[in-house]
C-alpha cells in the first residue's frame, strides 16, 4: 500500500476532523485491507500519508488487537473466551479448533497460512455464546464443534475476500 493510495482514501473525510492525527487509525485499517496485516512499509506509508513518524504509527498500530503487525492467515477466526462464552463452552471450542489446525492451545497460524485461530475478548454476542468471528464479519453463534469444522472447511475453500476487513 502506498502513501498516495492512503492519502486518496483519506481525502474525502479529512475535513471531518479538527486535527489530522485522527486519520491515523482509519489509515491503518485501510492499509491493512490490502493483505490482512501491516508490514513495515505499510506503516511507513501511513506515516507519510498522515505526517507522523513511522515510530508513532507503529506505536498506534501495536495498541490495538485487530491491527496485525505480523503476517496472519488468509482468514482470522477469533473465538470469544470471555465469561459468558466461557460458561457456554468456548474453551472447548477453542481447543478443538486449535488442535484440528495443529496449533498450541493459545492459537496461531497453521503452516499453510490459511487460517489463524485466536482468542478474542467479549465480542458483544453473548446471547449467541459460544461465539466466534471470522475477520470482521458478523459474529456467529452458538457454534458447535461440528459447526466449527464446517466453517473452517468452507473458509479454506473460499478465496481471501478483497478488501480484507479484520
Partner 1 sequence: MPDYAPVDLSRADVVEFELNGRAVTAPAGTMLVDACAAHGVEVPIFCYEPRLGDPLGACRMCLVRVEGLLGLTTACSTPVAEEMIVDTVSDEVKDAQDGILELLLENHPLDCPVCDKGGECPLQDLTFRFGPGQSRMIEPKRHFPKPLELSSQIALDRERCISCYRCVRFSQDVSEDGDLTMSERGGRSEITTFTGEAYEGRFTGNVIDLCPVGALTSIPYRFVSRPWDVQNTPSVCASCSVGCNTELTVREGEIKRVQGREEPNWEVEEGWICDVGRWGYGADRAPQRLRQPILRDGDDIRDCSLEEAVAAAGLLLARQPRTSVLLGGDATVEEAFIARELAAGPLPNGQTGTAGVAGAALGPLRALPGAQLGDIDGADLIVVVGGDPANQHPVVELRLRKARRSGIRMLVAGPRAHEIESLGEGTRTPPGRLAAGLAAAVEAIAEAERPIVIWDELDLDAEPDAAAVLADALSQAPSGRQVELPAEVNGAGIRALGIAPYSSLLGREALGGVLAVRADPGAGPGAEAWDRALESAGPVIAIASHHNTLTERATVVVPCSSHYEHEGVLVTVGQRAQRLRPGAAGPQHSAPGWEILIALAHRLGVAPEYRSARSAFAAAAAGTPALAGLDYESLGELGAPIAAPPATDVNGAGAPRGFQGEGLPLVTGRAAFGGAVSHLAEGLASVASGEEAVLHPAEAARLGVGDAGDVSLSSPNGACTLRLRLDESAPQGVVFAIRGVPGGGVEGLLAPDSAPVKVTVGPA
Partner 2 sequence: MPQLNSVYRHREADRVLTSVDTYRLSGGYLALEKALEEMTPDELLYAFHRSGLRGRGGAGFPMGRKASFLPKDAQLAKYLVCNADESEPGTFKDREIMELNPHQLIEGMVLAGYAIGAERGYIYIRGEYEYQAQVLDAAIASARESGYLGNGIAGSSVGFDLTLYRGAGAYICGEETGLLESLEGKRGQPRLKPPFPAVKGLWASPTLLNNVETLAAIPPIVEHGPDWYASMGTEKSPGTKVFSVSGHVREPGNYEVVLADTTLRELIFDMAGGLRAGRRFKACWVGGSSVPVLAEQHLDTALDYESLEEAGTFLGSGGCIVMDDSGCIVRASLRLASFYRHESCGKCTPCREGTGWMENVLQRMVDGEGRVEDLELMEALFGRIGGKCLCALADGAVAPISSAIRLFRNDFVRVINDGSPPPQPMEPRLPMSGGRSNA
- Three-state secondary structure call for residue 16: helix
Q: Which three-class secondary structure state does DSSP give residue 116?
A: strand
Backbone dihedral angles phi then psi of residue 79, each to the nearest 5 degrees: -100, 120
- Residues contacting partner 2: total by CB under 8 A: 61
- In the block, residue with C-alpha cell 474525502: 12
Interatomic CA distance for residues 48 and 44, integer angstroms: 6
Q: Could you give the string, one character per residue 23-52, with x where binding to partner 1 holds by CB under 8 A and - elsewhere?
A: -----------------x--xx-------x
Residue 125 interacts with which of partner 1, partner 2, none, CB < 5 to 8 Å by class: partner 2
Could you count the other beta carbons within 10 Å of the beta carbon of residue 108? 16
Nearer to partner 2, 19 or 159 (CB): 19
Task: Establish if 144 lies at the interface with partner 1 (CB under 8 A).
Answer: no
In contact, 36 and 69? CB cutoff 8 Å: no
SS3 104: coil
* Residue 162 binding target from partner 2, partner 1, none, CB below 5 to 8 Å by type: none
Residues 17, 20, 53, 137: which binds partner 1 (CB under 8 A)?
Answer: 53
User: Site residues (CB under 8 A) for partner 2?
Assistant: 13, 16-26, 28-29, 50, 52, 59-60, 63-67, 78, 81-84, 86-89, 91, 120-129, 132-133, 136-148, 150-151, 165
Amino acid at each position: 500500500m502506498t502513501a498516495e493510495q492512503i492519502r486518496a482514501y483519506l481525502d474525502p473525510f479529512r475535513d471531518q476532523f479538527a486535527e489530522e492525527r485522527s486519520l491515523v487509525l482509519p489509515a491503518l485499517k485501510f492499509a491493512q485491507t490490502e493483505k490482512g496485516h501491516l508490514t513495515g512499509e505499510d506503516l511507513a506509508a501511513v506515516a507519510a500519508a498522515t505526517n507522523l513518524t513511522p515510530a508513532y504509527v507503529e506505536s498506534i498500530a501495536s495498541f490495538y488487537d485487530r491491527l496485525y503487525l505480523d503476517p496472519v492467515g488468509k482468514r482470522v477466526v477469533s473465538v470469544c473466551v470471555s465469561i459468558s462464552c466461557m460458561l457456554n463452552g468456548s474453551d472447548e471450542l477453542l481447543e478443538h479448533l486449535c488442535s484440528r489446525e495443529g496449533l498450541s492451545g493459545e492459537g496461531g497460524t497453521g503452516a499453510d497460512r490459511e487460517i489463524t485461530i485466536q482468542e478474542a475478548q467479549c465480542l458483544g454476542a453473548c446471547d449467541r455464546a459460544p461465539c466466534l468471528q471470522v475477520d470482521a464479519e458478523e459474529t456467529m453463534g452458538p457454534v458447535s464443534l461440528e459447526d466449527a469444522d464446517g466453517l473452517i472447511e468452507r473458509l479454506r475453500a473460499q478465496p481471501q475476500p478483497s478488501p480484507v476487513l479484520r
